[in-house]
A and B are shown apart, each in its own frame.
Chain A
Amino acid sequence: MMDVQLAERQAELEVLRYNPEIAGEPKFERYSVPCKTEWCVLDALNYLKDNVDPTLTYRWSCHMQVCGSCGMMINGEPKLACKAMLRDYPGVIRIEPLAHFPVERDLVAVADDFIAKLKRVKPYLIPSDKRSLEEGEYRQTPAQLKRYRQFAMCINCMLCYAACPEYGLHPKFIGPAAISLAHRYNRDSRDGGRDERQEELATNEGVWECTFVGACSEVCPKHVDPAAALQQVKVASTVDWYLEHFMSWVKK
């Protein structure tokens, strides 16, 4: 038998719907969608939008776990809809916008807060010694690359914010992804911007709101391990604090 026939399955979806133009609370809408068993949740949503209700609103782009757009709560867990395979969800699949963020419409979460925080921590290279183009590229050894590579894998999908209860409880907390990205540049051998970033990171709204629940690392689809980044920032900030204060006493 060479016939490659994917098995069919009728997937039951419960999707949170919210229309900002009509006052009222978001409500779950139930849909029965004819799916292939090999589909992911995003495929089911696309089928729904194309064939059942074109007003259904959600973000997606790459369908391959790179763009970080399709983050949503699937059965209460923050997931990329393109990485959540239907075969792992035998029962009714409950889909909501990412937790802890306001809802723009249907499954779209308001990302403004995260974007603003990301800007504050300067997640870009601030060269320690500026070089002209003629001087050539900034060189880095494989060992220097490995120091930060894991933290550079972040795709800004915000699943870690939806998982972090401390962000839910203190919305001002700069949060896992932004601090991990700042840490990524702090650990980069070419960078000299740590002092500038510490102005944001070493504050009460910065790394000190983290209580190391570890949920961010458990849900991260790219294995960035934000919880590790934040603990390392705490250790470094603590060393800074003691050095700054003892040094100023010594000088007196």
Chain B
Amino acid sequence: MAKSNKPIIWGTFAAGGEVVSLITPVIIVLILFAAIGRPPSALGYEQLHAFAAWWFGKLVIFGIVFLSLWSQAHRLRITCFDFGLRADGLVATVFYVLAGAASLWLILILSSI
């Protein structure tokens, strides 16, 4: 039996799991402040735009969103199987294509800021 190519995705899943676990709760808290009408200063247009225009800011945003996309796409694939959706090949294709398209979109957005 041939060796699996799952490591490609699992690498991003493991790295993404680590990053998401450490950073996502606090980002949700920041967005929650905006949702109750009290956006923290960093979420203001000027500040956030300046951060995303800075090369290091771009790198941070790209790292977080890219790894979050791929780790969650991978876990969603497994979740579908665990709920009884047996068409694993199709499910995997759909989620990975979505994550790939979203990653491209992310690159386009960041390069236009």
Contacts and interface: CB of A to CB of B under 8 A. Distances in A.
Q: A and B bound?
A: yes
Contact of A203 (B3, B8, B10, B82): B3
B110 interface: no
B78 A241 contact: no
Interface stretch (A24-32, A184-192, A205-213, A214-222): A205-213
Interface string B45-73: 00000000000000000000000000000
Contacts, number: 42
Contacts of A240: 7
A238 interface: yes
Contacts of B11: 238, 241-242
Given A211-B82, A238-B14, A199 B7 contact: no
A203 B14 CA distance: 18
B112 interface: no
* Interface of A, helix, strand, loop or mixed by DSSP: helix
A205 B10 contact: no
Contact of B4 (A169, A208, A235, A242): A208
A148 B57 CA distance: 43
A206 B1 CA distance: 10
Nearest to B11: A238
A206 B10 CA distance: 14
Contacts of A204: 1, 4, 6
B8 A241 contact: yes
B1 A241 contact: no
A104 interface: no
Contact of A234 (B10, B78, B81): B10
Interface string B77-104: 0100110000000000000000000000
A237 B7 contact: yes
A197 to B, nearest CB: 12
A198 interface: yes
B67 to A, nearest CB: 15
A14 interface: no
B2 to A, nearest CB: 7
A77 interface: no
Given A202-B4, A237-B3, A241-B11, 12 more contacts: A165-B82, A169-B82, A203-B3, A204-B1, A204-B4, A205-B1, A206-B4, A211-B78, A241-B5, A241-B7, A242-B7, A242-B11
Q: Which 3 A-B pairs have CB atoms at the shortest separation, nearest pair first?
A: A241-B7, A238-B7, A208-B6
13 contacts: A199-B3, A202-B3, A203-B1, A203-B3, A205-B1, A211-B82, A234-B7, A235-B14, A237-B3, A238-B10, A238-B11, A241-B8, A241-B11
